[in-house]
């Protein structure tokens, strides 16, 4: 048991593997023993206890104290780390609880908004029907067609005014064509249907990136994300700079160096294919130009022109070479010369 020589009291700490020095004379002195007796006793202690043994015991005791202090320091450090982890856990839990409450509040707000809109539409429809019935009663037979057309037009206008807002890109197209950019606001599958995250870092060329959702950062792939909002200022500025660079780098063959621009995956679907087979040259040229103009930025377009006499193919290649939005083109495969893949900026 450890003993404090200054206070002459035990510390109630066990020192395993060591024997402490005798404190009998110190205690005897503190309780008033005669000093001559104590001096005589100390002489006998020094004669009976070799110096080397005393020194060895003192070194052992000191090393044990150092080891104990080191362990206490490490224990304090571990306790500090544990406290930080507990604080972080509590913070994340509070954030999650707050997200649930916000989602519930947003759903309630949207439901109330839909109910109000339905009520407004119903009242407008009732008014249209009432006016229609009044006009039918007060009009002649030859005016019925005109009244019917006016009523249909008013009904169509009312329906169009309350159509839900949708994304310009469908779910299937967005998952295959979306190229994430830093700052994009996206919906990420698995984070909740109505919760937006922000793209903060692009990790690899396959479309995976780091998104921030509140205070939490997670890794996601582009096929698990849907674009909700993009900073149009940054996008237009970067597009202008890329356009200037491509204008300067256009090669005689009509292709362009795309640099670090990422295009959609070259996977053929009915939405990104234009079939020119069986058409006349003029008709094929007009249809191909319309298809290119209808493409979204950085889309891949499959131009099926066939072989035949080669007139339609040469027409298609001439249009692709001269069109300012086409930055590169190539055969669909070494075994298929009847289809050309065009990369549209």
Strands (E), the chain: 3-4, 9-10, 185-188, 196-202, 209-213, 216-220, 225-229, 273-275, 299-304, 326-333, 336-344
What are the residue boundaries of the structural domains of the chain, listed by start?
2-72, 184-229, 273-344
176: pLDDT strictly greater than 60: no
Residue 263: pLDDT above 60? yes
pLDDT digits (tens, 9 = 90+) for 41-78: 988 877 766 665 666 677 778 888 888 899 999 999 99
User: In the chain, how many H helices and how many E strands?
Assistant: 8, 11
pLDDT score at 288: 92
Report the half-sphere exposure of 231 (CA within 13 A, side-chain side). Answer: 11
Question: What value does the mean pLDDT of the chain take?
Answer: 76
Is domain 273-344 annotated with CATH 3.40.190.10?
A: no
Convert the pLDDT of each residue in 94-117 to its tens digit: 877 777 777 788 888 888 888 888
24: which 2 tokens? 């009998």
Confidence of residue 4 (pLDDT cuts 50, 70, 90): confident
pLDDT at 259: 47
| Winning range, highest mean pLDDT, from 131-145, 237-251, 295-309 | 295-309
Band (332; pLDDT cuts 50, 70, 90): low
Q: What's residue 240's pLDDT? A: 46
The pLDDT value recorded for residue 38 is: 92
The reported pLDDT for the residue numbered 258 is 47
pLDDT for residue 37: 93
Averaged pLDDT for residues 270-288: 88
State how far the Cα of 242 lies from the Cα of 235, in Å rounded to an integer.
11
Minimal CA–CA distance to 262: which of 205, 211, 219, 220? 205
Cβ contact 313:305 at 8 Å: yes
For range 282-304, the mean pLDDT: 88
Higher pLDDT, 224 or 291: 291
> What pLDDT sits at residue 151?
76
> Rounded to 5 degrees, what angle do the CA atoms 52, 56, 59 make?
140
The whole-number pLDDT of residue 237 equals: 45
Least confident residue range of 2-11, 115-124, 206-215, 258-267 = 258-267
Query: Is the pLDDT assigned to residue 193 strictly greater than 60?
Result: no
Say what the pLDDT of residue 75 is. 92
Q: What whole-number percentage of the chain has pLDDT above 70?
A: 74
Looking at residue 168, what is its pLDDT? Answer: 38
Lowest mean pLDDT among 26-35, 150-159, 197-206: 150-159
């Amino acid at each position: 048991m450890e003993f404090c020589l200054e206070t002459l009291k035990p510390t109630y700490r066990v020192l395993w593997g060591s024997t402490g020095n005798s404190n009998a004379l110190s205690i005897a002195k503190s309780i008033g023993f005669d000093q001559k007796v104590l001096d005589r006793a100390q002489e006998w202690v020094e004669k009976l206890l070799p110096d080397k043994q005393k020194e060895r015991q003192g070194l052992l005791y000191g090393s044990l104290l150092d080891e104990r202090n080191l362990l206490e320091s490490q224990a304090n450090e571990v306790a500090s780390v544990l406290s930080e982890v507990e604080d972080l856990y509590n913070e994340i839990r509070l954030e999650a609880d707050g997200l649930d409450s916000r989602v519930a509040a947003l759903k309630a707000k949207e439901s109330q908004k839909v109910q109000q809109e339905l009520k407004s539409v119903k009242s407008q429809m009732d008014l249209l029907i009432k006016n229609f019935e009044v006009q039918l009663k007060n009009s002649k037979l030859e005016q019925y067609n005109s009244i019917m057309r006016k009523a249909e037009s008013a009904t169509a206008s009312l329906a169009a005014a309350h159509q839900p807002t949708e994304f310009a890109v469908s779910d299937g197209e967005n998952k295959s064509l979306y190229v994430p950019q830093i700052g994009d606001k996206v919906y990420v599958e698995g984070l909740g249907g109505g919760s937006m995250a922000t793209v903060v870092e692009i990790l690899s060329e396959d479309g995976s990136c780091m998104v921030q959702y509140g205070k939490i950062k997670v890794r996601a792939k582009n096929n698990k994300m849907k674009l909700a909002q993009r900073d149009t200022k940054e996008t237009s500025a970067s597009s202008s700079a890329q356009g200037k660079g491509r204008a300067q780098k256009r090669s005689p063959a009509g292709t362009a160096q795309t640099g670090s621009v990422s295009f959609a995956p070259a996977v053929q679907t009915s939405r990104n294919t234009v079939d020119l087979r069986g058409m006349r040259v003029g008709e094929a040229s007009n249809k191909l130009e319309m298809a290119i103009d209808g493409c979204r930025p950085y889309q891949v377009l499959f131009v099926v022109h066939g072989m035949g006499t080669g007139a339609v193919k040469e027409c298609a290649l001439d249009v692709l070479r001269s069109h300012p939005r086409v930055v590169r083109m190539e055969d669909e495969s070494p075994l298929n010369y009847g289809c050309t893949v065009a990369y549209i900026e």
